[in-house]
Amino acid sequence: MGALTELAGDEKNGDGSRTFVFNNEGHTLGNALKTIIARYPEVDFCGYTIPHPTEQKLHFRIQSHRERAIDLLKRGLEDLEALCDHTMNTFETEMNSFNATAVGSN
C-alpha cells in the first residue's frame, strides 16, 4: 500500500470527520474498505473518490459522531486484512484438497 495522508480542512468538523488520501491506490482498495466501514453502526457516512483518472490517489471519507475517523479507518483496515487472510487460507486449503484428490485419481 502507498503512503497515507490526511486532507486539510476537516479540523472544524471534529475528530469524527476526516478525508484520508491513499497514494498509489484505486478502486480495489476503496470499494472493499468502504464496504466494510460503511457497515459499522457508528459510521454516519463512508465513501471514496478517485479525483482524476491519471493520478493514483484515493480520497477516502469517514464521518461519525461517535468515534474518531482515524480509529474507524484503522479498524476497517484490520478487518479487511483479516478477511483477505481468511480468503487466502480457505483458497489454499481447498486447492490442496483438490490437488490431493486429482493426483489420487490419476
CATH code of the domain covering residue 22? 3.30.1360.10
Single pTM value for the model:
0.84
pLDDT(99) > 70? yes
| pLDDT for 2 | 58
Instruction: Name the domain count of the chain.
Output: 1
User: Does the residue 14 lie in any domain?
Assistant: yes
Alpha helices in the chain (DSSP H): 27-37, 69-105
User: Does the residue 94 lie in any domain?
Assistant: yes
Q: With beta carbons less than 8 A apart as the criterion, state whether 99 and 93 touch.
A: no
Domain that holds residue 75: 4-99
User: What size, in residues, is the chain?
Assistant: 106
User: Does the residue 55 lie in any domain?
Assistant: yes
Which of the two residues, 56 and 73, has the higher pLDDT score? Answer: 73
Q: With beta carbons less than 8 A apart as the criterion, state whether 33 and 80 touch.
A: yes
User: Does the residue 105 lie in any domain?
Assistant: no
C-alpha cell at 43: 459510521
User: Does the residue 16 lie in any domain?
Assistant: yes
